[in-house]
Amino acid sequence: MSQQMNVRPESLGILSMSSTQSRPGNWKSVSNTPQPSLGRRGMRGNLGAPLEKAKDRKGTLKRLLNYFKNEWKYVMLLCVTIILGVCMGVMAPRFQAEAIDHIKSSELGSLKKILILMLAAYVIHGLSTLLQGFLSAKLSQRVIFRLRGDLFRKITNLPIAYIDTHSHGDIMSRMTNDAENIANIVSSSLSSLLSGMLMLIGTIAMMLSYSPLLTLLSCSTVMLTVVFTTNITRYMRKYFVKRQELLGKLNGTVEEMVTNTRTVTAYNRQAAEVQGFSETADELTKTGIIAEIIGGSMGPIMNMLSNVSFVVVAVFGARFALSGDISIGVISAFIIYAKQFSRPINELAQLYGQIQTALAGGERIFRILDEKEEDKSGGEIVKPIKGVIEFRNVNFSYVPGKPVIRNFSLQVCSGKKIALVGSTGSGKTTIINLLMRFYHVDSGEILLDGKSIYDISTDELRDAIGIVLQDTVLFTDTIRNNLCYASRDITQEELEAAAASSHCDDLIANLTDGYDTVLESSGANLSQGQRQLLTICRAFLSKPSILILDEATSSVDTRTEMCIQDAMTELMNQRTSLIIAHRLSTIQDADEIIVMDHGEIVESGNHEELLAKKGRYYDLYMTQFAGQEI
């Protein structure tokens, strides 16, 4: 069957291929346009970025850690590498101190051994850091591969109702932005977090072993750095938040301009659009300057505070050295330890915001993973399928208390062509949604060959139905793969026969690579009518017992419509067909025409009978063909 299942509930305007479609009533579409990354410059990290927190951080963290279970070998190897690197990083200054003291005391005999140990420590530390980067990247990609795989499988199995009622951009953002945030944390921050904590512990231990008092003096300047960082971050965050908001607004303006450039040009609104863009850009420039000044000042100020720490160590260390409490080599080691001590604190402060953002993203991903999947239960249907469809007293509402379908009853005999007509919002497409089990009825029954559709698995049900929609959906792939989308077991002979029957064989023959031609941007290099012919051919190849045509010719010209009509006539031959149409010229030969209004059948009969009644169908017909005012 055709895989275009995005049939929109017309009464609410819920589903369309565009994720920006508004939803009436209380169904609010939340904008989740991915915002540009502010990146990390110098020592700022993302301290000024808006901090998004997860509501259940412990639960989310626990679930994320479950994805590391299968990667325990990489985790253990990473931990060993980090521990080795931290040990070497802590021991290297000690070797340096001993070397300086040996030089001062002219004890050159063991100096060579100490220098070799110091060199080995720095080399091993550098190699372990390099290996940490490799292992972290490998671990992050393996973890995120499994997480994205689970999320994609979940999305493909979610009910259509869920997709209809949630922003498409938000769903895609969870697959891209949120998953990428988690990957970045694992690749760049996990090792930094562990090594930072171990480095703090090791450095403090070494400093205390040399001089508790000098350690206390060194830590005082580091605490001053932490206090400054905390306060300046609070001040600068509002500017970064405002800058992100303005970036989102500016991107939205550009996107609308590019998407709707024909409309803007047609109404000569270029100057007005440029003015609106300039106003937003000016405000963004001012905010960006302030944000960059504040953010850019953090590095120099923190370097200055770090240098103050060196001065403190040098001054008080010299006094302690003169009094014989410590050696000159210890002073040099303390200067290095003071730097090593402040660096992990600054990194941990930056990682806090990134980890919180990643946990929030993880929570959003798990929220989708926890959604109930579509009910595909049911058994097989007796083959061959006759295509007898029956609706019995069906009632349905998208929003409780606001019925869309009211006591709908209809029997469609095998091989008959039934047309559903009516004004927008009358419930025509909703009937198709219910038949396809995209939504479940509130009450009543829908039968296929005498068997409830809820006793038939969705795979069996949908394999029996082919759909051709108004909004043609083709994929960025070869024409062959697009046509064989419902089944890959199609022979070349069957493919060519279907193309001839759907009148798209000449179209394909005139393309450079024929069936192997790759469609650009989902068929943007073809006309609307050409794309529609290809979707009809795809429906042919799905070999359905029941055919659904939903406004299949409403967006093409009259000449193309005639060609498509011929293709559809061939396609509908000996198949039960349900046709939704606003152009009444396309359904005049239907076996029965069902006129709907507010979810109810108000008239039924063939074209001549309904015209003779001079009822609702007559009014619709005269409006289209006689220009009569109703």
pLDDT in tens, 95-121: 888 888 888 777 777 788 888 888 999
Q: What is the predicted pLDDT for the residue at 565?
A: 73
Pair 310, 171 in one domain: yes
Q: Name which of 314-318, 426-430, 474-478, 601-605 the model is least confident about.
A: 314-318
Distance of alpha carbon 242 from alpha carbon 59, whole angstroms:
31
**The most confident of 67-71, 483-487, 521-525, 602-606, by mean pLDDT:** 602-606
Residue 491 belongs to some domain of the structure: no
Give the domain-ending residue among 319, 335, 369.
369
Q: What is the predicted pLDDT for the residue at 31?
A: 35
Pair 342, 397 in one domain: no
Higher-confidence residue: 65 or 150?
150
What confidence category does residue 389 fall into, taking pLDDT thresholds of 50, 70 and 90? very high
Pair 365, 385 in one domain: no
Pair 363, 384 in one domain: no
Residue 264 belongs to some domain of the structure: yes
Average pLDDT in the 528-544 region? 83
| Structural domain for 387, as ranges | 380-464+577-630
User: Does the pLDDT of residue 570 top 80, yes or no?
Assistant: no
Q: Which two tokens stand for residue 405?
A: 């379908």
Residue 513 belongs to some domain of the structure: no
Pair 255, 325 in one domain: yes
DSSP-derived 3-state class of residue 547? strand
Q: Name which of 48-57, 167-176, 518-527 the model is least confident about.
A: 48-57
DSSP per residue, 90-116: HHHHHHHHHHHHHHHTT--TTHHHHHH
Do 480 and 504 meet the contact criterion of CB atoms below 8 Å apart?
no
Average pLDDT in the 251-275 region? 82
Residue 488 belongs to some domain of the structure: no
Peptide bond preceding 384: is omega within 30 degrees of 0, i.e. cis?
Answer: yes
Distance of alpha carbon 86 from alpha carbon 215, whole angstroms:
19
Distance of alpha carbon 335 from alpha carbon 97, whole angstroms:
11
Helix, strand and coil in the chain, % to nearest 5: 60, 10, 30
Backbone angles phi, psi at 421, to 5 degrees: -130, 165
What confidence category does residue 127 fall into, taking pLDDT thresholds of 50, 70 and 90? very high
Pair 363, 390 in one domain: no
Distance of alpha carbon 72 from alpha carbon 13, whole angstroms:
48
Tens digits of residue pLDDT in 319-334:
887 777 778 888 888 8
| Helix/strand/coil (H/E/C) assignment for every residue in 450-502 | CEEHHHECHHHHHHCEEEEECCCCCCCCEHHHHHCCCCCCCCHHHHHHHHHHC
Residue 546 belongs to some domain of the structure: no
CB atoms within 10 A of CB 324: 7
Pair 349, 394 in one domain: no
What confidence category does residue 178 fall into, taking pLDDT thresholds of 50, 70 and 90? confident
Average pLDDT in the 376-399 region? 89
What confidence category does residue 555 fall into, taking pLDDT thresholds of 50, 70 and 90? low
Residue 21 belongs to some domain of the structure: no
Q: Residue-wise over 495-521: b if at least 16 C-beta within 10 A, else e?
A: beebbebbbbbebbeebeeebebebee
Residue 125 belongs to some domain of the structure: yes
Pair 101, 222 in one domain: yes
Pair 83, 232 in one domain: yes
Q: What is the predicted pLDDT for the residue at 161?
A: 84
CATH code assigned at 586: 3.40.50.300
Tens digits of residue pLDDT in 451-493:
999 999 988 898 888 888 777 788 888 889 988 887 778 888 8
Pair 86, 194 in one domain: yes
DSSP-derived 3-state class of residue 405? strand
User: Does the pLDDT of residue 124 top 90, yes or no?
Assistant: yes
Do 272 and 260 meet the contact criterion of CB atoms below 8 Å apart?
no
Q: What is the predicted pLDDT for the residue at 26?
A: 33
What confidence category does residue 51 fall into, taking pLDDT thresholds of 50, 70 and 90? low
Q: What is the predicted pLDDT for the residue at 557?
A: 61
Pair 454, 593 in one domain: yes
Pair 323, 201 in one domain: yes
Give the domain-ending residue among 312, 334, 369.
369
Q: Count the domains in the chain.
A: 2
Residue 512 belongs to some domain of the structure: no
Q: What is the predicted pLDDT for the residue at 575?
A: 84
Higher-confidence residue: 315 or 106?
315
Mean pLDDT of the chain: 79
Average pLDDT in the 79-94 region? 89
Give the domain-ending residue among 369, 389, 404.
369
The partner residues of 394 in beta bridges, in order of sequence, read: 408
CATH code assigned at 64: 1.20.1560.10
For residue 337, give the amino acid letter.
Answer: Y
Q: Which two tokens stand for residue 61?
A: 């963290």
Distance of alpha carbon 298 from alpha carbon 286, whole angstroms:
19
Q: What is the predicted pLDDT for the residue at 49?
A: 47
Do 438 and 7 meet the contact criterion of CB atoms below 8 Å apart?
yes
Tens digits of residue pLDDT in 341-361:
777 776 776 677 677 777 888
Taking the model in full, what pTM does it have? 0.69
